Amino acid sequence: MTQVNAQFGKVAVLLGGNSAEREVSLRSGQAVLNALQNAGVDAIAFDPQNRSLWELKELNIERVFIALHGRGGEDGTVQGALEFMNLPYTGSNVLGSALAMDKVRCKHLFKSAGLSTAPYAVVDAKKGFDAKAIMDEFKKVMVKPSHEGSSIGMAQASTAQELEEALANAFKFDNQVLVEQWITGREFTVTVLGDEVQPVIEMTTPNGFYDYQAKYQSNTTQYHCPADLSAQDTQHLQAMSLDAFDLVGASGWGRVDAMQDEQGNFYLLEVNTVPGMTEKSLVPMAAKANGATFEQLVVRILEQTL
């Protein structure tokens, strides 16, 4: 038995699940599982869609690597279950997971703490809304379901009719929807690993914005790591990202997304507490730019459970 094996005991990689991001989670989880096994860790795949979490105890699992994206995996529910079972797990705790997953409450927190974020409105499916008034105020918007990730249910709108259509689609995923003022500019992401920020990545895509297709299916999406920013802008964006990560109570590892407008101002978009770990994912890319292999990254995340 290798030292790594003895250190971690038996590990379950939670993957799949029941969220709209199931397919991405299956890919993330498989990549994590392969890396852990290559590192000599006694790791198995565990899909909560097919199995009860109580089986983790029967299998003598000693710690859990959470590779579940979206609801049921990234929103604090599985974290709460694992806490109840006294099983150490990777990533943020119950509160950090729940807050980061809730885009609306994240925005409220950013605003109240004085962190830069785009102007926004919150639309509730049960309360009705005035699409024309929203468009008169913002001109162009991005529509986001409050509790989805991987850009699922997101759309842009430039007219009241487009907004109504985008909201009707977003309401299929969530009763509460964030309508954010459109920012024309550059899109960035900052990985947080432990208490350290990794090199900034810039994403460019012909899709209009970094949507699901650009993230997981496109060959035209380009990644620039480290991003072409001045040292001052890089430090500012990294510090801002770390502030946002800490503000929502996130911990362990994660990713903070941001934009820079044409005037050079940065705006926080959201905090991801279980970002993608596929071959196209951003966290491994940032870690690689910092000299870490995918295997080293995965082991380092797991080490946080010791």
- Residues 25, 97, 150, 151: which is the catalytic one? 150
Whole-angstrom distance, CA of residue 4 vs CA of residue 15: 22
Is 21 a known active-site residue? yes
Q: Which of 19, 28, 97, 281 is catalytic?
A: 281
| Amino acid sitting at position 233 | D
Question: Contact 161/226 with Cβ under 8 angstroms?
Answer: no
Among the listed residues 21, 74, 148, 187, the single catalytic one is: 21
Q: Is 270 annotated as a binding residue?
A: yes
Q: Is 62 a catalytic residue?
A: no
165 labelled as ligand-binding? no
Q: What gap in Å lies between CA 157 and CA 142, rounded to an integer?
A: 6
Q: Is 272 annotated as a binding residue?
A: yes
* Cβ 261 vs Cβ 192: under 8 Å: no
**Cβ contact 266:239 at 8 Å:** no
Strand 63-66 and strand 155-157: the pairing is unpaired
Catalytic annotation present for 187: no
Annotated binding site: 257, 270, 272
The set of catalytic residues is: 21, 150, 281
Annotated binding site for Mg(2+): 257, 270, 272
